[in-house]
Amino acid sequence: MTSSTSVSPSVPALRRGGEGGADRLVQWGTWLLVIVLIFGPIVPVVYAGFVDRPLYESGGILTLGNFAALAEDPAFWAALRNTALFALFAAVPGVVIGAGLAVLVGRTDLPLRRALSVVMVAPLLFPGLGVTLGWVTMYSPSGFVSSWAAGQLGSTPWNLYSIPGMALVTLEKTVPLVYLMVRARLSALDTSIESAALTAGAGPARVLWTVTLPMLRPALLTAAILIVMIAFETLGLPLILGGPVDIDTLSTYLYRTWTSDPERQGTVSAAASGLLLLVTLLLWLRTRVEGDGGRYTTAAGKPSAARSLHLRALRWPLVLLVWCYALVAIVLPVVGLVMTSITNIFAPGVSPWSMLTSRHFETVFSNAALLRSITNSLLIGVVGAVLATAGLTLAALVAHRSRFRLRASLPPVLFYPRALPGIVVGVGTFWVFVLVAPLEPLRTTVWGIMLAFIVRNTAVGYAAIHSSLLAISTELDAAARTSGASWLRTCRDIVVPMLRPALAGCFILMFVSLLNDYDPAVFLVTTGNEVLGVTMLKQWAAGFTGPVAALGVIQIAITALAVSIGRLAWGVRPRA
């Protein structure tokens, strides 16, 4: 052992004592923060459903009276029935079209697949209200396409202001979601099973129908559940299209009762709890189906070079059909939105080119409230995305990289907000600010809205971090721990630096989500803390569609900019 001196033993010993004290503090703190933020807004909503008077009055007695009152309200049942119909009309075509497109792009030799793929997912980044306005300019009874169709056919065969009409407009958002989910599923499937069927003599259509489709069943089911969840919680769309013709869905029923009849807050809360329960069940169902999906996995690892089925004679007709769909459902509404923002009147019979104006943009930039809604939304987007990314990173590290006792409870909690309807978060946040005195000053600020938005969108950001974190070998942090680094130090020096691209992805996705969200804010907005979506909703209700369109275009522009930066710099992509 003569040369044992080559590793000299004079390295200072590590400090003893306080073993992992800081680590444990951070872990408990993170866990508590997550639990309080996510369940905080739910508690008052559920509680308010079970007491006999508004929460701000003391001495409430527990009761089921609110539920009884709800059950006696025919408007509630009508709204429930409408929502169910709406969900059905949205889910069936959404799944069929989305899955069909995914199979065509992912599995066949359809020409122009790549371009189609980009166009298909673009609507995910469009602000909901702006796009709805676009649909109205084109397909409402006085819209461009409708008038043209009426001229050709004598009458318009569709009516946007109806439940099927609302379902039609949701296709804008749901088809890309289904498309992404099915594409993901397809790329996990081995194409060799299809090749096997082909060599066994089956034609391409038959292979798709008998081999590919059954393998996709779990993905189709989860997609359908997702659409039903969206249908139940979406607020803006039914408010705009259903409002004028007195069609209430569950969420608009809640919204209207809340805003018009303060006496009935208990009933609203009861209905909101019911809605929450329903959507939670749907989420649970979705997770179950996804979990079972493993059964359908054919092979581990990458599929052998993806083979595509030859469409032969069907190629060109299908291309035509697919691009017609893209034109009708994606391009025209955006054109409508943009034209509305740059013309005085955008209506059939008037040449838009003679009506060009920059007036709406001028209004937006000169009207303090409108301008403020842009700056507020940007502020919420940037600050919220930074805070959310930091918080979610910590939460993900505690959940997946620590030995914290309650770590296993974090992932389901962080994914749970997928099932939180915006209205519930909004009402709940409102109640928290009203009831918890120290938080009261937040109620009228952008920060309150920011909190509500963050809570509602945690799943988006968490999913972005989660998958990358799981891809980093735990031996890398184990090596740092045994080298002498505490948990926190390991996270800081080893895990977080390797996670950087995912964190950038999380930031961009959170920014976009926070910028475009508005449901929870309708209960929190007052003068001074306006955000884009709510301002658009109010302007529209007041009849000023020009500024709404201008705001929508601005929103699309900001989103597109953020996403391109993310995509160019870190390869960020939208996901379901």
Partner 1 sequence: MPDITVSALGLDYADKTAIDDVSFTARDGEFLTLLGPSGCGKTTTLMSIAGLTNPSRGSITCGADVLFDSARSVNRPPEKRNCGVVFQSYAIWPHMSVAENVGYPLRLRKVRKPEIGSRVREALAMVGLDALADRYPHQLSGGQQQRVALARAVTYSPGVLLLDEPLSNLDAKLREQARGWLKEFQASVGLTTVFVTHDQDEALAMSDRVIVMNDGRIEQEGAPEDIYRRPATPFVASFLGSANLLDGTVDAPGRVRLDGGGQTVAVPEDGPLGGVQVMVRPEDVELMAPGADPDVAPLRGAVTSRMFVGSSYRYVVDCDGQSVTVSARERWEPGPVRLRVDREHCRLFPRDTAAGVAGSDRLEESSYA
Whichever of 117 and 409 has its CB closer to partner 1, that residue is: 409
Nearest approach, Cβ of 251 to partner 1 (angstroms)?
42
Does 484 interact with partner 1 (rule: CB under 8 A)? yes
Give the shortest CB-15-to-partner 1 separation in angstroms: 9
Whole-angstrom distance, CA of residue 174 vs CA of residue 168: 10
Phi, psi of 191 (to 5 degrees): -70, -15
Q: Which of 42, 494 has the CB closer to partner 1?
A: 494
Question: Which of 2-10, 240-248, 307-315, 409-417 is the region at the interface with partner 1 (rule: CB under 8 A)?
Answer: 2-10
x/- track of binding to partner 1 for residues 396-415 (CB under 8 A): -------x------------
CA–CA dist 556, 516 (Å, integer): 9
Please name the residue that has the structure tokens 């749901």.
174
Nearer to partner 1, 298 or 473 (CB): 473
The helix-helix angle for 446-471 and 422-435 (nearest 10°) equals: 120
The percent helix, strand, coil of the chain (3-state, each to 5) is: 75, 0, 20
Binding mask 92-131 for partner 1 (x = CB under 8 A): ----------------------------------------
CB of 27 to partner 1, least distance (A): 13
Phi, psi of 62 (to 5 degrees): -65, 135
Q: Is the dihedral of CA 47, 75, 519, 364 positive or negative?
A: negative
Q: Which one of 1, 61, 153, 305 is in contact with partner 1 (CB under 8 A)?
A: 1
- Note the maximum CA span of the chain: 102
- 4 or 527: CB nearest partner 1: 4
Binding residue (CB under 8 A) for partner 1 from 3, 58, 155, 526: 3
Among 485, 492, 538, 570, binds partner 1 (CB under 8 A): 485
Interaction between residue 387 and partner 1 (CB under 8 A):
no
Please, what is the minimum distance in Å from the beta carbon of residue 508 to partner 1?
21
From candidates 279, 454, 480, 502, binder to partner 1 by CB under 8 A: 480
The minimum distance between CB 569 and partner 1, in angstroms, equals: 17
| 226: nearest Cα among 78, 91, 391, 372 | 91
Binding mask 436-475 for partner 1 (x = CB under 8 A): -------------------------------------x-x
Q: Binding residue for partner 1 (CB under 8 A) from 142, 357, 375, 483?
A: 483
Pick between residue 12 and residue 543 the one whose CB is nearest to partner 1. 12
| Residue tagged 């030799």 (tokens) | 109
DSSP structure string for 11-56: SPPPPPSSTTHHHHHHHHHHHHHHHHHHHTTHHHHHHHHTBSS-TT
Question: Closer CB to partner 1, residue 323 or residue 570?
Answer: 570
The residue to which tokens 């909004």 are assigned: 426
DSSP 208: I
Write down the H helix ranges in 140-233: 144-153, 163-188, 192-199, 204-207, 213-215, 217-233
Distance CA 417, CA 514 (A): 14
Q: Nearer to partner 1 by C-beta: 58 or 482?
A: 482
Which listed range, 16-24, 184-192, 215-223, 306-314, lies at the site for partner 1 (CB under 8 A)? 16-24
> Coil, strand, or helix at residue 207?
helix
With respect to partner 1, which residue has the nearer C-beta, 20 or 65? Answer: 20
What lies within 8 Å, CB to CB, of 233 at 6+ separation is 251, 275, 279, 421, 422, 423, 519
Distances (CA, A) of 307 to 105, 196, 259, 301: 12, 11, 56, 16
The answer to whether residue 256 forms part of the interface with partner 1 (CB under 8 A) is: no
How far apart CA 534 and CA 239 sit, in angstroms, is: 12
What is the smallest separation between the CB atom of 12 and partner 1, expressed in angstroms?
A: 5
Kindly identify the residues of this chain, within the stretch 183-242, that bind partner 1 according to CB under 8 A: none
Given CA atoms 178, 179, 182, 188 in this order, what sign does their dihedral have?
Answer: negative
CB nearer to partner 1: give 1 or 568: 1
Residues 18 to 47 in contact with partner 1, rule: CB under 8 A: 19-20
Residue type, 38: I
d(CA 52, CA 66): 7
* Minimum distance from residue 11 beta carbon to partner 1 (Å): 5
CB of 501 to partner 1, least distance (A): 12
Q: Which is nearer to partner 1, 84 or 498 (CB)?
A: 498
Q: What phi, psi does 502 have (nearest 5°)? A: -65, -35
Provide the Cα torsion 101, 106, 112, 114; round to 10°.
110
Q: How far is CA 331 from CA 283, 325, 328, 492, in A?
A: 32, 9, 6, 45
Assess 482 for contact with partner 1 (CB under 8 A).
Answer: yes
Rounded to a whole number of angstroms, the distance between the first and last alpha carbons of the chain is 61
**Closer residue to partner 1 (CB): 9 or 157:** 9
Specify the residue for token string 């700056």.
375
Tell the smallest beta-carbon distance from residue 485 to partner 1 (Å).
5
Query: CB-wise, 362 or 493, nearer to partner 1?
Result: 493
Smallest distance, partner 1 to C-beta of residue 419, A: 28
Locate 369 and state its tokens: 């409230």
Min CB(461)–partner 1 separation in Å:
22
Q: How many CB atoms lie within 10 A of CB 124?
A: 20
CB-based contact 48:265 (threshold 8 Å): yes
Q: Where does this chain touch partner 1 (CB under 8 A) — which range of 15-23, 302-310, 384-392, 452-460?
A: 15-23
What string marks each residue from 490 to 529 as x (binds partner 1 by CB under 8 A) or -?
---xx--xx-------------------------------
Interface with partner 1, residue 152, by CB under 8 A = no
Instruction: Please identify, among the stretches 9-17, 89-97, 233-241, 514-522, the one whose residues bind partner 1 according to the rule CB under 8 A.
Output: 9-17
Per rule CB under 8 A, count of chain residues that contact partner 1: 34
The residues that touch partner 1, with contacts defined as CB under 8 A, are 1, 3-4, 6-14, 16, 19-20, 403, 473, 475-476, 478-487, 489, 493-494, 497-498
